């Protein structure tokens, strides 16, 4: 076998231009597939990261009425939805694959938050417990966080994120300043930011709106002071951090099922987990048909390349008819001749496959630079491409190899 491989490389090198042109179809086909698969994989990862962020692995479990998130500010606290007790919360924290959990209340603010005459429009007011920052991966950038006494003594204090600071204070140090939330004065004690800062890749208006939903500014206050603003207690939502991203859907459903075990509402109001992975999957599947068509189109060039291999191998058999006859005359069996030409065809296409992979990786990077589309090189696709190119060589080299093996020694030696 090693001798056959050596002879194959010798034959390829002695006809460099012809061999390169023969491999060109394989190179183009493999390079096209690698480029397309890498771009598809990169785009899918972008969609997933834009929805989930930088691996925070958090999933929110909130109240829904049918398929719509329940609007507490318009509908009030629903009947038959109890406050989450400490016992129920402990059960949630002990669920499998739950690393941390927190309870919170949330309202969207439309001209409810002011600093002087400046309003934070479209921001979120979050009534959080003392586990929230740790669960969601926030750290205090300036000032302090919410202390235990803020909860027990019902202190009207607030922590802002950077977006809220930029919108309300315009260069003024917010720590120590007083903001109004629905007419109630709250003292700003700190600024929080996510520990892992993540900026999504935005290539379309859909990406922009998907990201903008969660980038309007947040104001965190102790949940114990929530009734001071809104006048009554409300059922809380829950956020949990899971062990891995893949556990988010399973854990979210388990938490929702636990909470719904205590729900007696008759208006189809129940807890549901925000299945971000499902959203990502649906977005990825939208372009799946088009992507598959592109791969099939690129595969046509592999077929063309295989036909080119068959053609050049038939020429090679014709050119080396006397050599085949001489080998048979000194006792070479048909299987030896067959193996030699099959090996040559496989080496030719495998070499084309390797070159195609390198060209595909380079093209993927060029596409990424020119279109700002992310790419992710797929190792399985590379391995499959190289093996597939070798299989093409064996399949399309079979006919010329069989023709060479069946030549009669006397006819081959007399061939001119």
The CA radius of gyration of the chain, in Å to the nearest whole number, is 33
Tokens of 53: 């962020």
pLDDT-derived band at 120 (thresholds 50, 70, 90) equals: confident
Return the H-helix or E-strand segment holding 382: helix 379-405
Q: How many domains does the chain have?
A: 2
Q: Are residues 93 and 231 in the same domain?
A: yes
Give the end of a domain, one of 243, 278, 312: 243
Report the mean per-residue pLDDT for the chain. 79
Judge whether 324 and 34 are in contact, CB under 8 Å. no
Query: Chain centroid to CA 379: how far?
Result: 16
Cα 358 from Cα 353, distance rounded (Å): 9
Q: Which of 349, 78, 46 is nearest to 204 (CA)?
A: 46
The whole-number pLDDT of residue 58 equals: 86
Percent of the chain with pLDDT over 90: 28
Judge whether 139 and 127 are in contact, CB under 8 Å. no
Return the minimum-mean-pLDDT range out of 14-28, 162-176, 182-196. 14-28
**Overall size of the chain counted in residues:** 416
Q: Are residues 205 and 309 in the same domain?
A: no
pLDDT tens column, 316-348: 766 666 666 677 677 777 677 777 777 877 888
Cα 191 from Cα 174, distance rounded (Å): 8
Cβ within 8 Å of residue 164, ≥6 positions away: 113, 120, 123, 217, 218, 219
- Pairing relation of β-strands 157-161 and 98-108? unpaired
Whether 273 is in a domain gets the answer: no
Q: Are residues 70 and 217 in the same domain?
A: yes
Q: Give yes or no for residue 404 having a pLDDT over 90.
A: no
The whole-number pLDDT of residue 313 equals: 75
Which range in 104-118, 131-145, 362-376 is most confidently predicted, on average pLDDT? 131-145
The whole-number pLDDT of residue 320 equals: 67
Which range in 69-73, 95-99, 120-124 is most confidently predicted, on average pLDDT? 95-99
Whether 256 is in a domain gets the answer: no
Phi, psi of 192 (to 5 degrees): -115, 150
Q: Are residues 12 and 121 in the same domain?
A: no
Q: Give yes or no for residue 413 having a pLDDT over 70.
A: no
- 3-class SS at 196? coil
Whether 317 is in a domain gets the answer: yes
Cα 308 from Cα 299, distance rounded (Å): 14
Q: Tell me the residue range of the domain where 114 lies.
A: 58-243
Q: Give yes or no for residue 197 having a pLDDT over 60.
A: no
The whole-number pLDDT of residue 210 equals: 42
Return the minimum-mean-pLDDT range out of 12-21, 140-149, 261-270. 12-21
Judge whether 350 and 397 are in contact, CB under 8 Å. no
Q: Are residues 194 and 64 in the same domain?
A: yes
Q: Are residues 15 and 136 in the same domain?
A: no
Whether 281 is in a domain gets the answer: no
Give the end of a domain, one of 243, 259, 276: 243
Cα 227 from Cα 234, distance rounded (Å): 8
Cβ count within 10 A of residue 76: 11
pLDDT tens column, 355-377: 888 988 888 888 777 766 667 77
Q: Are residues 41 and 103 in the same domain?
A: no
pLDDT-derived band at 230 (thresholds 50, 70, 90) equals: confident
Instruction: Tell me what the mean pLDDT of segment 200-215 comes to.
Output: 45
Judge whether 216 and 122 are in contact, CB under 8 Å. yes
The whole-number pLDDT of residue 103 equals: 95
pLDDT-derived band at 205 (thresholds 50, 70, 90) equals: very low
Q: Are residues 300 and 407 in the same domain?
A: yes
Q: Give yes or no for residue 240 having a pLDDT over 90.
A: yes
The whole-number pLDDT of residue 198 equals: 43
pLDDT-derived band at 212 (thresholds 50, 70, 90) equals: very low
Cβ within 8 Å of residue 183, ≥6 positions away: none
- Pairing relation of β-strands 269-273 and 184-194? unpaired
The whole-number pLDDT of residue 236 equals: 92
Whether 276 is in a domain gets the answer: no
The residue that leads in pLDDT, 346 or 211, is: 346
Q: Are residues 210 and 300 in the same domain?
A: no
The whole-number pLDDT of residue 30 equals: 84
pLDDT tens column, 44-72: 666 656 555 545 688 899 999 887 888 88
Q: For the chain, how far is it from start to end, CA to CA, in angstroms? A: 30
Q: Are residues 25 and 65 in the same domain?
A: no
pLDDT-derived band at 178 (thresholds 50, 70, 90) equals: very high
Instruction: Tell me what the mean pLDDT of segment 89-103 comes to.
Output: 94
Judge whether 102 and 131 are in contact, CB under 8 Å. yes
**What does the DSSP assignment read for 102-141?**
EEEEEEE-SS-EEETTEE-TT-EEEEE-TTHHHHHTEEEE
Q: Which of 274, 198, 282, 269 is nearest to 240 (CA)?
A: 274
pLDDT tens column, 249-281: 889 889 999 999 999 887 889 998 876 555 555
Give the end of a domain, one of 243, 267, 295: 243
Q: Are residues 94 and 21 in the same domain?
A: no
């Amino acid at each position: 076998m090693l001798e056959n491989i050596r002879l194959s490389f010798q034959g390829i090198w002695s006809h460099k231009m012809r061999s390169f042109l023969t491999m060109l179809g394989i190179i183009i086909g493999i390079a096209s597939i690698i480029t397309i698969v890498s771009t598809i994989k990169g785009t899918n990862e972008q969609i997933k990261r834009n929805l989930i962020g930088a691996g925070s692995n958090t999933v929110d479990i909130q109240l829904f009425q049918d398929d719509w998130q329940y609007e507490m500010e318009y509908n009030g606290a629903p009947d038959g939805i109890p406050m989450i007790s400490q016992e129920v919360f402990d059960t949630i924290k002990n669920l499998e694959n739950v690393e941390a959990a927190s309870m919170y209340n949330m309202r969207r603010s439309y001209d409810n938050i002011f600093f002087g005459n400046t309003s934070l429009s479209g921001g979120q007011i979050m009534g959080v417990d003392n586990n929230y920052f740790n669960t969601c991966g926030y750290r205090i950038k300036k000032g302090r966080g919410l202390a235990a006494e803020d909860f027990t003594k019902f202190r009207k204090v607030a922590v802002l994120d950077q977006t809220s600071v930029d919108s309300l204070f315009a260069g003024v140090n917010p720590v120590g300043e007083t903001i109004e939330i629905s007419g109630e004065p709250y003292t700003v004690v700190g600024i929080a930011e996510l520990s892992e800062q993540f900026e999504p890749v935005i290539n379309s208006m859909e990406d922009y709106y998907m990201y903008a939903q969660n980038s309007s500014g947040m104001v965190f206050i102790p949940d114990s002071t929530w009734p001071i603003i809104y006048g009554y207690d409300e059922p809380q939502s829950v956020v949990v951090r899971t062990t891995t991203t893949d556990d988010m859907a399973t854990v979210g459903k388990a938490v929702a099922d636990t909470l719904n075990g205590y729900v007696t509402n008759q208006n189809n109001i129940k807890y549901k987990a925000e299945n971000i992975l499902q959203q990502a999957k649906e977005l990825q599947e939208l372009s799946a048909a088009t992507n598959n068509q592109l791969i099939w189109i690129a595969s046509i060039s592999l077929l063309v390349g295989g036909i080119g291999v068959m053609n050049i191998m038939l020429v090679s058999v014709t050119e080396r008819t006397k050599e085949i006859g001489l080998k048979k005359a000194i006792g070479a069996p048909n299987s030896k001749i067959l193996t030699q030409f099959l090996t040559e065809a496989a080496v030719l296409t495998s070499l084309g496959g390797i070159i195609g992979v390198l060209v595909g990786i380079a093209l993927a990077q060029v596409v990424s630079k020119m279109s700002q589309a992310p790419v992710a090189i797929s190792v399985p696709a590379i391995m499959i491409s190289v093996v597939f190119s070798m299989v093409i060589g064996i399949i399309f080299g079979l006919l010329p190899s069989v023709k060479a093996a069946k030549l009669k020694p006397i006819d081959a030696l007399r061939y001119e």
